[in-house]
Amino acid sequence: MKKSLVLAMAMALGVTASAYAANPFSDVPAGHWAYDSINKLAAAGVIEGYGDSTFGGDKLMTRYEMAQIVAKAMAKGANVDKLAAEFADELDNLGVRVANLEKKADNVKITGQIRYEYADRDGAFGDNVAKNRLRTRLFVNGAVNDDWTYTARLQNDQNLANNKGDETTSLNQAYVTGRVGGLAVVAGKAPLTLVDGNLYDDTAEFVSVSYGKDVKLTAYAGQPTDYGFDNFYGASLSGKVGKLALSAGYDAFKDSLDAAKE
């Protein structure tokens, strides 16, 4: 493209070989394939070197430099329409590459949340039991490709009640969501809600597979993060009948001792 660009610019200007002097740039020898075209453009005042008698032909061109070249070419009477037609394919490809680059640059989103919590309890809840906590969460979301996304959550907890500066920081969520054929998949350390939160509403390390839209069948298995169980598994069927939302399922929580007894 660089060779064609230089040649086409010279053609658009209509510069003749007799209008330029020899060797304006020390790094463009007479035997170089772009020697004549570069010299024509330099003689016409369209291109300049870098102030040290070099052209820098192997350097990438910035948008500023390109704008300067086009502006000078237009001032010299260059046929810009001819240049646009000459490089139509290259410009289209460049547009696609820039669009893809912008899409990737906006691929990762980082958000945050800060919550301060204070409670003072007495009576049935204990003698002046106080909770004084500052919780900070950092969320990272991004796309792996058109079918898969990833999510991570970094959490910091500070106990301000005991004046000891106790705090913990953990990556308490990290999971991917996507599709495999007609199946919706969630895998990793992710939020999990079972039976509208009445049975379980917390983070778990699991794999979930769902099929269907109006009527959805879901199966899952993994390890809960707390509650004294080592693993769980289950399945659910949910859907709508008129204005009613119905669901049914089976869930089992087990620890390693129970599994060994069985």
Q: What is the mean pLDDT of each run of 10 residues along the chain (262 residues)?
A: 46 47 75 80 76 79 75 67 63 62 71 88 57 89 89 91 78 93 93 87 93 91 84 91 86 68 45
- 196-233: per-residue pLDDT in tens? 888 888 899 999 999 988 889 999 999 988 777 889 99
SS3 66: helix
Nearest in space to 133 (alpha carbons), one of 116, 150, 110, 151: 116
H or E segment at 200?
A: strand 200-211
Strand order from edge to edge, sheet including 215-224 = 108-121, 129-143, 149-159, 166-180, 183-194, 200-211, 215-224, 231-241, 244-254
Show me where the domains of the chain are located.
2-104, 108-173, 181-262
Hey, which residues does 220 pair with through a beta bridge? 208, 234
Q: Is 130 helix (H, G, I), strand (E, B) or coil?
A: strand
Cα–Cα distance between 98 and 177 in angstroms, integer?
A: 27
Cα three-residue angle 163-167-171, rounded to 5 degrees: 170
